[in-house]
Amino acid sequence: MDTILVIEDKDSMLAMLKQTLETEGYQVVTAKDGAEGIKRLSDERIGLVLTDLKLPKKDGFEVLRAVKADSPLLPVIVMTAFGTIELAVKAVKEGAYDFLTKPFDMEHLLVLMKRALDASRVATENILLKEEFADKLGFPKIIGKSSQLQEITANIQKVAPTNATVLIHGESGTGKELFARAIHFLSLRKDAPFVAINSAAIPRELLESELFGYERGAFTGADARKLGRLELADKGTVFLDEIGDMDMALQAKLLRVLQEQVIERVGGNKPIKIDVRVVAATNKDITKAVEAKLFREDLFYRLNVFPITIPPLRERRDDVPALALHFLNKYSAEVRKGPLTIAEDTMDILMKCPWKGNIRELENVMERAVIYADGGAIRPEHLGISESSILDALAEHVPMDGPLHCVAEAAQRIAESRRIRQVLKQTNGNKSRAAEILQVSYKTLLTKIKDYQLEEKGE
């Protein structure tokens, strides 16, 4: 629950507000003058400030200005006597969320506070959306039907409702962030922020400020307090991509976050309690990095509570057709072209490709193909994939050692099995018709289907 700072110089009023707000489930911090209230701002993690305008030492305007200087998104509600409504309106113009005229109805105060807190959360989320994932709203859709993907999905459903730290392993382009988002959306934290940050894309000195935030005056140009991504993700999930590239000094600070759920802003010296779930990802072999003293062993074990490995696309080719069709529909809608299909020989090429860039590379190929296509079907020439790349992909499945006749036999088996699958699909499984097209006897076709185990694959 949010922490409310109440600044009021009258003891009876202060006690009444404190009791009422605590009864509603809020945590309450109190101050009897403006100077003490401003100090409380730096000592506590405050969600909303409720302050009188007329206060000893420093008045409500000075409190308001101090709040907006350090935390522009922190809502302030001012309380005022009837005779100072003009001043209250002035306070709103200077950044206060709203004002209440004493005496006021407590139900009205509670409604106003809820609106202010909700508005603050939306504003915080908007900052994150603009910077990180403005075009990625909604529940993440994991596409594919391979056995590997089904196993990963089952594991995600098991770990998502817990608070366990997850470490996702996978090559670049396999969709690690998509799986991290799925974990968040299936968790109890789904209504709180999901904050993604790439550890490899930001220089070390900037990454510390991005993660932990900084206090005003911490360094040249730090004119106001800035909340870090870990603090912005409070009650939610932080996704740390490419964790294997994180500096060793920052690794020590991250370890403290995982152990104690506290942070310290750059330039600050007071621990700030947070509540975040960490999902990390890497395309590196962290165990080798640990052996080479490039990654902290204690941090690795903290992160690796629930490991998930996403296989590269070349190891789950059964997912290629579904992904290709998904990207076809996505980019056809974007460029406003009529219905497009993928020609059979085009899909055969997509299935053969090595996809070194994984799903990201497949998406780029399909986007390009949609742009090139004039309508109807996506043809091989629309893909922009060289013949040498296709031959290289086929060569991966052929043993390149031993006698020449063994290599030729392996290549023949690959070619025959692919052609038989293609024709069986064309004839909707009619083996007699397939034998005619392939110009082999019905018995020979049945023998090869059994030999190549095509029926076990649903062919």
pLDDT-wise least confident of 68-72, 243-247, 406-410: 406-410
Q: What is the pLDDT of residues 162-190, one digit of tens each?
A: 999 999 999 999 999 989 998 998 888 88
pLDDT at 109 over 80: yes
For the chain, how many residues are written? 459
Is the preceding omega at residue 103 within 30 degrees of 0, hence cis?
yes
**pLDDT of 94:** 83
**pLDDT score, position 342:** 92
**Confidence category of residue 359, pLDDT binned at 50, 70, 90:** very high
Q: Is pLDDT at 84 greater than 80 in this prediction?
A: no
pLDDT at 290: 94
**How much is the pLDDT for 136?**
45
Question: Which of these ranges, 101-110, 234-243, 334-343, 447-456, has the smallest mean pLDDT?
Answer: 447-456
Instruction: Over range 100-115, report the average pLDDT.
Output: 88
pLDDT higher than threshold 60 for residue 133: no
The better pLDDT of the pair 254, 455 is held by: 254
10-22 average pLDDT score: 91
| pLDDT of the residue at 325 | 92
* Mean pLDDT value across the chain: 84
Mean pLDDT of 191-217: 88
User: What integer pLDDT is reported at residue 371 of this predicted model?
Assistant: 92
123 token code pair: 């504003």
Position 129 pLDDT exceeds 50 = no
Residue 66 reports pLDDT greater than 60: yes
For range 25-33, the mean pLDDT? 90
Q: Return the amino acid letter for 62.
A: E
What's the start-to-end Cα distance of the chain, in Å? Answer: 57
pLDDT value at residue 82 = 64
Point out the least confidently predicted range of 69-73, 289-293, 320-324. Answer: 69-73
Q: Name which residue leads in pLDDT, 457 or 433.
A: 433
- pLDDT, one tens digit per residue, over 229-276 is 998 898 999 999 999 999 998 999 999 999 999 999 988 888 889 999
Name the least confident of 76-85, 189-198, 450-459: 450-459
pLDDT at 397: 55
Nearest of 316, 244, 246 to residue 283 by alpha carbon: 244
pLDDT at res. 457? 39
Average pLDDT over residues 97-111: 87
pLDDT at 300 over 90: yes
- Residue 335: band (very low, low, confident or very high) from pLDDT cuts 50, 70, 90: confident
Residue 340 reports pLDDT greater than 70: yes
- For the chain, what percent of residues have pLDDT higher than 70? 89
SS (H, E, C) the chain: CCEEEEECCCHHHHHHHHHHHHHCCCEEEEECCHHHHHHHHHHCCCCEEEEECCCCCCCHHHHHHHHHHHCCCCCEEEEECHHHHHHHHHHHHCCCCEEEECCCCHHHHHHHHHHHHHHHHHHHHHHHHHHHHCCCCCCCCCCCCCHHHHHHHHHHHHHCCCCCCEEEECCCCCCHHHHHHHHHHCCCCCCCCEEEEECCCCCHHHHHHHHHEECCCCCCCCCCCEECHHHHCCCCEEEEECHHHCCHHHHHHHHHHHHHCEECCECCCCCEECCCEEEEEECCCHHHHHHCCCCCHHHHHHHCCEEEECCCHHHCHHHHHHHHHHHHHHHHHHHCCCCEEECHHHHHHHHHCCCCCHHHHHHHHHHHHHHHCCCEEECHHHHCCCHHHHHHHHHCCCCCCCCHHHHHHHHHHHHHHHHHHHHHHHCCCCHHHHHHHHCCCHHHHHHHHHHCCCHHHCC
**Mean pLDDT over residues 324-349, rounded?**
86
User: pTM, whole model, 2 decimals?
Assistant: 0.62
Q: Residue 144's pLDDT is what?
A: 82
- Rounded Cα–Cα distance for residues 278 and 287 (Å): 19
Confidence of residue 103 (pLDDT cuts 50, 70, 90): confident
User: Model confidence over 413-423: pLDDT tens digits?
Assistant: 777 877 888 88
In this prediction, residues 110-118 reach a mean pLDDT of 90
